[in-house]
Amino acid sequence: MPIIVNLDVMMARRKMSLNELSGKVDLTLSNLSILKTGKAKAIRFTTLESICNALECQPGDILEYRENDNKTTIR
């Protein structure tokens, strides 16, 4: 998937653990872990807003778009 989640990078920059972030944004550890590992299929804007508020960052600091390098040619 071309959307990259950089939550772990922002948490490291803010020296914040998953437990601490979980408490601040009122999300379970398992849901945050799914997001952090890039396994989430979607994120609510309210959740993204809470995470950005807790980490004092912008949505673009957490989510990044990278074009797929594995383009398949159809013949």
Q: Domain limits of the chain? A: 3-65
With contact defined as beta carbons under 8 Å apart, do 21 and 11 qualify? yes
Out of 1.10.10.60, 1.10.3720.10, 2.30.40.10, 1.10.260.40, the CATH code matching 3-65 is 1.10.260.40
Q: How far is Cα 75 from Cα 53, in angstroms, rounded to an integer?
A: 48
Looking at residue 49, its pLDDT comes to 97
Per-residue pLDDT at 74: 57
pLDDT per position as a tens digit, 2-35: 899 999 999 999 999 999 999 999 999 999 999 9
Q: What is the 3-state secondary structure (H, E, C) of 1-70?
A: CCEEECHHHHHHHCCCCHHHHHHHHCCCHHHHHHHHCCCCCCCCHHHHHHHHHHHCCCHHHHEEECCCCC
